[in-house]
Amino acid sequence: MRGIGWGAAALALLLAAGPGMAEQGKGHSHEHGHDHSHGDPQQAQIEKGYFEDAQVADRPLSDWEGDWQSVYPLLQDGTLDPVMAHKAEHGDKTAAEYKAYYDTGYRTEVERIEIHGDTVSFHAGDEVLTGQYASDGHEILTYAKGNRGVRFIFRKVSGDADAPGWFQFSDHKIAPAKADHYHLYMGNDRAKLLEEVTNWPTYYPAALTPRQIVEEMQAH
C-alpha cells in the first residue's frame, strides 16, 4: 500500500496475499482451538466444524458490526509469543513453528476495519477504502481432515473502485450470532477466495488491549 496505491495488483497482493491456494473444496482447518460454547456440547461440536447443513443460516452484516483491529502487528512485535508458547505446550509444533504458521495466516496490511450498517471501511496505513456491501449468501467448505466450515459472503454494491469486490467471513459460527473475532478473506474473485486456505487475516475488537487479546486467545 504505502506509496503503491490500491490498484488491482496491489489489492491481490495486500488484501488476499497468501503463499498458495488449496484445491477447491478442500478448505482448511486453522489451528485456533477457540471454544466459546460455554459448556454446550452441540455448540462445541459446531465450533470444531461438525454440523448438519440444516443448521446453517445466512447472517446479516450486523453480526460483525463495530471497529476491529488486525492481530498481525501483535504477532510481529512479539506480543503473541506467549500464545505461541501456550499452543506448543498442547500441540504438535514448536512455538517458532506456530509463529511461522500464524505469520502466513495473519499476514495483511489492512490494520483496521470498521463495519457500520452496510458500510465497510478498510484502513491500511494512511489509506482508507470504503464500500457498501450486501449479503451474497454462504458456502460450506469441507476440510481435508473431514470437518467443515462456513464462509459468509458479501459483495460490493457501491463505493470506492479499489475497495474489495468481495469479502468472506469465517468465525466458527454457522448461524446468526454476534462475532467476537473473525477471519476475513478479501479480493475481487468470489470463487478464488473460496480456494484460499493459507492466509486468513484475523480481527479482534479494536477496544481490546494487546494483553486482553492474549488472554482471550489463551483462554480458547
Confirm if 47 and 41 have CB atoms less than 8 A apart: no
pLDDT at 17: 39
pLDDT at 44: 86
Number of compact structural domains in the chain: 1
Residue 3 belongs to some domain of the structure = no
156: CB partners within 8 A, 6+ apart: 131, 132, 133, 163, 164, 165, 166
Q: What does the pLDDT look like over 52-90, one tens digit per residue? A: 999 999 999 999 999 999 999 999 999 999 999 999 999
User: What distances in angstroms separate CA 136 from CA 17, 61, 80, 151, 187, one per listed residue?
Assistant: 22, 11, 34, 10, 14
Instruction: Judge whether residue 177 has pLDDT over 80.
Output: yes
Residue 44 belongs to some domain of the structure = yes
Of 155 and 48, the one with more pLDDT: 155
Residue 127 belongs to some domain of the structure = yes
pLDDT at 36: 52
pLDDT at 196: 94
Q: What domain range includes position 98?
A: 8-219
Bridge partners of residue 150, in order along the sequence: 140
pTM of the model: 0.84
- Cell numbers placing 95: 512455538
3-state SS string for 37-77 = CCCCHHHHHHHCCCCCHHHCCCCCHHHHCEEEEECHHHHHC
- Section 27-42 average pLDDT: 54
Residue 1 belongs to some domain of the structure = no
User: What distances in angstroms separate CA 18 from CA 6, 44, 69, 148, 197, one per listed residue?
Assistant: 17, 29, 19, 21, 8
Residue 175 belongs to some domain of the structure = yes
Q: Label the pairing between strands 66-70 and 202-205.
A: antiparallel
pLDDT at 39: 60
Instruction: Judge whether residue 7 has pLDDT over 50.
Output: no
pLDDT at 38: 52
Residue 86 maps to which CATH number?
A: 2.40.128.20
- Section 171-200 average pLDDT: 96
- Section 29-53 average pLDDT: 72
